[in-house]
């Protein structure tokens, strides 16, 4: 019984470790298209074959950065092999995470609505 319970915990631990290691490894990349990247989350498939790496960007072009990270995915995966003590290191797929961008847009709209309401009062 105990074995089944540990499997989800293991995938969370692996996703967490990949998130930390990929964040460090990205800083070593010399590609100018890769701006100031923050790794927001890593989602690993149950068979550990694939990992979707969600990132946000403080500075840079999201599409160019996503392309550059996906081009570097093989190199990053090989670097993870040396760091992770697991049998299967997943294939990495980078996706720009628009969550923080959307949150900023919503905050701006709310502020604008509040300012308009304050003027009307």
End-to-end Cα distance, the chain: 63
**Cα 95 to Cα 11, 100, 111, 116, distances in angstroms:** 19, 13, 29, 36
Do residues 78 and 25 lie in contact, with contact meaning Cβ atoms separated by under 8 Å?
no
Chain segment 76-91, per-residue pLDDT in tens: 999 999 888 787 899 9
In angstroms, the Cα distances linking 92 to 44, 57, 69, 76 are 9, 18, 9, 8
pLDDT at 15 over 70: yes
How many distinct structural domains can be found in the chain?
A: 1
Evaluate whether 55 touches 40 at the Cβ level (below 8 Å).
yes
Domain that holds residue 70: 2-120
What 3-state class would DSSP assign to 43? strand
- Round to whole Å and give the CA distance between 99 and 107: 12
pLDDT of residue 7: 58
CATH of the domain at 62: 3.30.300.20
User: pLDDT, tens digit, for every residue of 94-105?
Assistant: 999 988 777 777
Q: pTM here?
A: 0.78
């Amino acid at each position: 019984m105990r074995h089944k319970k540990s499997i989800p915990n293991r995938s969370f631990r692996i996703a967490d470790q990949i998130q930390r290691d990929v964040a460090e490894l990205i800083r070593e990349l010399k590609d100018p298209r890769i701006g100031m990247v923050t790794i927001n989350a890593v989602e690993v498939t149950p068979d550990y074959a694939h990992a979707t790496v969600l990132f946000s960007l403080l500075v840079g072009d999201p599409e160019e950065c996503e392309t550059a990270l996906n081009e570097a995915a093989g190199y990053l995966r090989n670097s993870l092999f040396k760091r992770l003590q697991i049998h299967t290191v997943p294939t990495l797929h980078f996706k720009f995470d628009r969550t923080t961008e959307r949150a900023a847009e919503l905050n701006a709209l709310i502020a604008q609505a509040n300012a308009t309401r304050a003027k009307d009062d």
